[in-house]
Chain A
Amino acid sequence: MMIVMRPLRRWLGVLAAGGLLFAAAAAGEMPREERRSGFDFMSDATKAMQRDDTLNPGMLWLLEGEALWRRKAGSANRSCADCHGEAAASMRGVAARYPTYDIREARAIDLQGRVNACRVRHQDAPPFGHETPELLGLVAYVANQSRGMAIAPDSDERLAPFRENGRRLFNERLGQLHFSCAQCHDDLWGERLGGSVIPQAHPTGYPIYRLEWQAMGSLQRRLRNCLTGVRAEPYAYGAQEYIDLELYLMERARGLALETPAVRP
C-alpha cells in the first residue's frame, strides 16, 4: 500500500508547549509550570523527525490505520467510517480524554481496548492482537485526530479508583532494582541515566515510533520496557495495571498537547 503526499504545511507541533499549560493549579507531585513533554528532552535531529509528516516513520503505521478506518470488517461487514463517519470530525478530542470508563465491563478502558471492543461488539470481528500493525495503526490514526489538543482526562467519577491504583503503582518501588517510577520521573527528570536524559514520562504522543524499537509501539510496550529496566516481571499485555497507570499518567499530563504519532529515542 502506498501513499503519495504532496508537501503542504509542516506541522510545527509542540514547540510552543508553554502556551498550552493551564494556569489553574492542581494537586500533583510535579509543579504544573515545570511539566514538559518528552519532546523537549530530545535532540534536534529527533525533533525534526517528529515535526515533519513527510519524515516521520510513524506515518507508515498511521496511514495504514486510515485505510483500516474505511475498510469493512467482520460478519457485520461494517467499517469504522460506517458508524463514525470522517474521523477528523468524530474522533477529534477522543484520545485527549482517554482512558475512559467502559460501562459494559465496569472498568477503565484505554483507546486500544475501545478499538477492540468496537470490533467485537459492532463489527462482529475478532480483536486485533497487541502491538499488531493494525491495532497500532488504527489507534495512531484516531489519536492523531487530537494532535495539538490539550490532554483533558475524562472526569467520570467511576474512574477515580482506577486512577488511584495507577497513582499507587507509579509511586510503588518495583523490581530487583527496587525503583518506583516517581523516583526517576518525578525526582530526577532532566538528569542522566547512562547517556540519556531522563524525561518526565508524560504519554503525550502514543503510539510512538521509538528509535530503539525501530517500529511503532504502544504505551503498554513502553511501560513493559520500564518494568524490565528495573528488573521487574512485566504485567501481561492488556493488564488492568497498564490502563490504571495510563489513567494516572494522563491526569499528571493534563494540559500538555497530544503529539501522536510522536518519535522518541
Chain B
Amino acid sequence: MDAVPITRATRRQVLLTGAGLLAVALVRPARADAPDMASVIRDFVGEAVVRSGRVKLEIPALVENGNAAPVTLKVDSPMTEADHVKAIAVFNEKNPQPNVAIFHLGPRAGRAEIATRMRLATSQKVTAIAALSDGTFWSDSADVIVTLAACIEG
C-alpha cells in the first residue's frame, strides 16, 4: 500500500523534470550542442599554428548594449599580390554559437581594415584571426563587459 504513493510521486517527479528540461532546451539551446570555438577555429586554420600578433581587434572594453558592439579589425600589411591578408575571421566564446563573421580580402583591398557591429550575449572574450597569403595565421583577443538595458521592455 505504501509503495504506490512513492511510485506515483517518482513518476510525477520524472515527468515534471522531463518537461522542465524540454522547456529549457526549447528556449535556450545548450552551448554544448553548438560546435565549440576551438573546433570552428580549426575549420578556419586547419593544422596551422595560430600566433598572437599582426592583427588588431578593437572593441570597447565595456559595451552598453550587447545588441551592437562596434568592432574594428586591422592588419598591418602591404596588401600586395605577394604579401596580403586573405581573410579575417571573428569568433566569440559565450554566444550560442562561436562564429561571428569571416571577411575575405585580397590585394584589391588596398588596406586590411574592416569595421562592423556584432552581438554579445554576455561578457566574454572575442577573438580575431587573420589568414595571410604566406599561409600563416595571426590572432588578437579582447575581453568585453556587456551591460544590459536596465528597464526591461517586456
**Which residues on A are within 8 Å of B, measured CB to CB?**
42-46, 48-49, 193-196, 198, 211-214, 225-226, 228-230, 265
CB-defined contacts of A49 to chain B, threshold 8 Å: 68, 70
Name B151's contact: one of A44, A213, A228 (CB within 8 Å): A228
* Known contacts A43-B60, A45-B70, A49-B70; A265/B151 CB under 8 A: no
* Known contacts A48-B70, A211-B65, A214-B67; A193/B60 CB under 8 A: no
* Known contacts A45-B70, A211-B68, A214-B68; A193/B151 CB under 8 A: yes
* Known contacts A43-B62, A265-B65; A229/B70 CB under 8 A: no
Determine whether the beta carbon of A193 is less than 8 Å from that of B64: no
Q: Is B114 part of the binding interface, using a Cβ–Cβ cutoff of 8 Å?
A: no
Q: Is B22 part of the binding interface, using a Cβ–Cβ cutoff of 8 Å?
A: no
Q: A43-B64, A214-B68 are in contact. List 5 more A-B contacts (CB 8 A).
A: A45-B63, A211-B67, A214-B67, A228-B152, A229-B151
Q: What total of chain B residues lie within 8 Å of the partner, measured CB to CB?
A: 17
Q: Is B153 part of the binding interface, using a Cβ–Cβ cutoff of 8 Å?
A: yes
Determine whether the beta carbon of A196 is less than 8 Å from that of B60: no
CB-defined contacts of A211 to chain B, threshold 8 Å: 64-65, 67-68
- Could you tell me which residues of chain B, from 50 to 67, have a CB within 8 Å of some CB in chain A? 60, 62-65, 67
Determine whether the beta carbon of B150 is less than 8 Å from that of A225: no
Closest 8 CB pairs of A and B: A229-B151, A195-B147, A211-B65, A265-B64, A193-B150, A228-B154, A194-B150, A196-B150
Smallest beta-carbon distance B69→chain A, Å: 8
Main secondary structure of the interface of B (DSSP, over half): loop
Smallest beta-carbon distance A265→chain B, Å: 4
B146 (CB) vs chain A CBs: closest residue: A195
Smallest beta-carbon distance A121→chain B, Å: 34
Q: Is B148 part of the binding interface, using a Cβ–Cβ cutoff of 8 Å?
A: yes
Interface string of B138-154 (1 = CB under 8 A from A): 00000000011111111
Name A225's contact: one of B60, B67, B151 (CB within 8 Å): B151
CB-defined contacts of B150 to chain A, threshold 8 Å: 193-196, 198, 229
Give Cα A265–Cα B63 distance, bound, in whole angstroms: 9
B119 (CB) vs chain A CBs: closest residue: A214
CB-defined contacts of A198 to chain B, threshold 8 Å: 150
CB-defined contacts of A194 to chain B, threshold 8 Å: 147-150
B151 (CB) vs chain A CBs: closest residue: A229
Give Cα A106–Cα B154 distance, bound, in whole angstroms: 34
Smallest beta-carbon distance B48→chain A, Å: 33
Smallest beta-carbon distance B14→chain A, Å: 36
The residue among A196, A198, A214 with the most chain B CB atoms within 10 A of its own CB is A196
CB-defined contacts of B60 to chain A, threshold 8 Å: 43-45
CB-defined contacts of A229 to chain B, threshold 8 Å: 150-152, 154
Give Cα A213–Cα B68 distance, bound, in whole angstroms: 11
Name B147's contact: one of A48, A196, A226 (CB within 8 Å): A196
Smallest beta-carbon distance A43→chain B, Å: 5
Give Cα A195–Cα B151 distance, bound, in whole angstroms: 11
